[in-house]
Amino acid sequence: MTKRQPAQPFPLGDYLEEELKERHISFHRCARMAAIPEWELAGLCDGRFALSFEQAKRFGAVLGTSTYLWLDLAQPMPAPPIEES
């Protein structure tokens, strides 16, 4: 029997970039709609900045999603359990 591997976490920025691509929203337009500077959006996407509650609320409003979706995505993932042999 093959052992299943748990899903690997992915960065918030990757998820955001995929959402923008699927919705045909440019990076520049998203920053304007969320009322944040482009450099701040870039920092969130590449992991230089942590997501604030206010930013999560704005992304939720811009993309029609929950604020908590973004906050959950921004949480660090727990380490997988270590199997002892």
Domains and CATH numbers, the chain: 12-74 (1.10.260.40)
**19 burial type by CB count under 10 A (0-12 exposed, 13-18 middle, 19+ buried):** middle
Is residue 60 within 8 A of residue 70, CB to CB? The reply is yes
The CA distance from 40 to 59, in Å, is 13
Q: How many CB atoms lie within 10 A of CB 5?
A: 7
- In this prediction the pTM is 0.73
pLDDT tens, residue by residue, 11-70: 788 888 899 999 999 989 999 999 999 999 999 888 888 899 999 999 999 999 999 988
